[in-house]
């Protein structure tokens, strides 16, 4: 059953991928450029000859050559590495053109250029509530790129995702700005979802739970998973996602800092007491084994008390020499 479900998942994933490579006529751009220049020059020469000789046949041929050259000009496309062009023929998607260089394709098609290069998003820290309701400031850095051009252009309305005060266009810069807006909004939502599932720091009741501060790779992996689920609808691939800023909100930062300081002081004193007790035990054992002095229980209790005061005290001890009998 698991194998069947896995196969069905793979088949459904392949069926969901509607992007394919453009298979139409593709010619060398430089060859077509020289041909088109020849047609343009030849048409102009024939028209000039018509004016001098008054031959209407020559004028018609020259006009046809110029008209043909005008239809050829829109078919030139040029692609750099990491770019793609989505090709449409009268509103129908006919493939994605990704061949690098200078080419000529069907001039009746419409192409839209998209960038497949990796892009970086450094999101500003936002205020969210963690699992315990404490307000925290959290930010992320995201590396993403377009992977499926069909989903990016047709599954979402990129024309309405541009900034409010910016003019929406069809050029590469405007299109990629629209996708950046979409990624920013979805990253904000995914970050709030992940941050709300964990506490900022561990407490006595949740000492073994994963927290935002100590989660590390586990938190980053879950954040990357949530982002992948949200951005897959737009054909966007998440290369890497990591939390790059984490702190308590300003209104509770001072209180939480004192709490952390108190926890650190308690842990340090526990370590000091543990070491002092072991040193007192060692001193008593050495005095007994080497038969230096014999102490009764009252003397031992007084010695233990004095040693603990000296070892656990924050100030240096001031010895008092007893010179009496």
Helix 297-312 to helix 250-289 angle (10° resolution) is: 140
> Does residue 178 lie within any of the structural domains?
yes
**What average pLDDT does range 89-109 have in this prediction?**
92
Residue 201 in domain = yes
Question: Do residues 299 and 265 share a domain?
Answer: yes
323 is a domain residue: no
What pLDDT, on a 0 to 100 scale, did the predictor assign at position 145?
93
Mean pLDDT computed over 192-205: 78
Do 12 and 128 lie in a common domain?
Answer: no
For tokens 């047609």, the residue is 39
Same domain, 305 and 208: no
pLDDT at 104: 92
Whether residue 236 sits in one domain with residue 132? yes
Q: What angle separates helix 29-53 from helix 56-72, to the nearest 10 degrees?
A: 160
CATH number where 243 lies: 3.30.479.30
Of 82, 113, 144, the one marking the end of a domain is 113
Examine the fold and report which residue of 222, 248, 274 is the final residue of a domain before the chain moves on. 248
Looking at the structure, tell me whether residues 123 and 108 fall in a common domain.
no
Best CA proximity match to 87, nearest among 98, 71, 73: 98
Can you tell me the distance from the alpha carbon of 74 to that of 109, in angstroms, rounded to the nearest whole number? 9
**Residue 225 scores a pLDDT above 80:** yes
237 forms bridges with which residues in the sheet?
Answer: 145
- Which percentage of the chain shows pLDDT scores above 70? 74
Residues 89 and 133 in one domain: no
Q: What pLDDT does residue 68 have? A: 85
Domain that holds residue 176: 119-248
Element at 115 (helix H, strand E): strand 109-115
**Domain identity same for 126 and 243:** yes
Same domain, 226 and 297: no
For 20-77, write each residue's pLDDT tens digit.
999 888 899 899 899 888 888 888 877 777 766 656 677 778 788 888 888 888 889 9
Determine the 3-state secondary structure of 145 from DSSP: strand
The verdict on 147 and 223 lying in the same domain is: yes
Cβ 85 vs Cβ 111: under 8 Å: yes
241 sits in the region (left: phi over 0; alpha: psi -120 to 50; else beta) called beta
Of 81, 113, 145, the domain-final residue: 113
User: Between 147 and 279, where is the model more confident?
Assistant: 147
Is residue 258 domain-shared with residue 140, that is, in the same domain?
no
Is 43 contained in some domain? yes
Residue 320 lies in a domain: no
94 pLDDT exceeds 90? yes
Same domain, 166 and 266: no
Compare 325 and 171 and report the one with higher pLDDT: 171
Contact indicator for 163, 184 with CB cutoff of 8 Å: no
What integer is the mean pLDDT of 282-297? 72
Whether residue 131 sits in one domain with residue 69:
no
Across 7-21, 188-202, 252-266, the highest mean pLDDT is recorded for 188-202
Domain count, the chain: 3
158 close to 174: Cβ distance less than 8 angstroms: no
Residue 167 makes CB contacts below 8 A (sequence gap 6+) with: 174
Residue 322 lies in a domain: no
Global pTM reads: 0.69
In a domain, 8, yes or no: yes
């Amino acid at each position: 059953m698991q194998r069947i479900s896995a196969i069905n998942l793979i088949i459904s994933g392949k069926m969901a991928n509607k992007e394919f490579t453009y298979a139409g006529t593709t010619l060398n751009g430089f060859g077509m450029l020289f041909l088109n220049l020849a047609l343009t020059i030849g048409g102009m020469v024939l028209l000039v000859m018509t004016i001098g000789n008054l031959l209407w046949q020559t004028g018609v041929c020259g006009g046809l050559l110029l008209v043909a050259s005008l239809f050829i000009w829109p078919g030139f496309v040029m692609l750099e590495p990491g770019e793609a062009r989505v090709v449409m023929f009268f509103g129908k998607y006919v493939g994605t053109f990704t061949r690098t260089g200078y080419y000529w394709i069907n001039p009746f098609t419409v192409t839209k250029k998209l960038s497949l290069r990796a892009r970086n998003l450094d999101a500003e820290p936002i205020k969210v509530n963690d699992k315990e309701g404490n307000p925290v400031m959290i930010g992320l850095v995201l590396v993403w790129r377009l992977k499926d051009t069909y989903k990016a252009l047709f599954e979402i309305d990129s024309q309405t995702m541009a900034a409010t005060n910016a003019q929406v266009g069809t050029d590469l810069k405007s299109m990629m700005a629209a996708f950046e807006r979409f990624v920013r909004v979805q990253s904000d939502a995914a970050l709030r979802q992940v941050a709300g599932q964990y506490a900022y720091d561990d407490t006595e009741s949740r000492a073994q739970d994963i927290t935002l501060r100590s989660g590390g790779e586990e938190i980053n992996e879950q954040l990357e998973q949530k982002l992948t689920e949200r951005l897959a609808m737009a054909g966007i691939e998440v290369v890497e996602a990591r939390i790059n800023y984490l702190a308590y909100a300003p209104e509770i930062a001072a209180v939480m800092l004192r709490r952390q300081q108190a926890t650190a002081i308690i842990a340090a004193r526990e370590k000091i007491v543990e070491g002092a007790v072991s040193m007192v035990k060692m001193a008593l054992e050495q005095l007994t084994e080497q038969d230096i002095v014999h102490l009764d229980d009252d003397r031992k209790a007084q010695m233990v008390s004095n040693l603990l005061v000296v070892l656990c005290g924050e100030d240096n001890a001031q010895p008092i020499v007893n010179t009496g009998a």
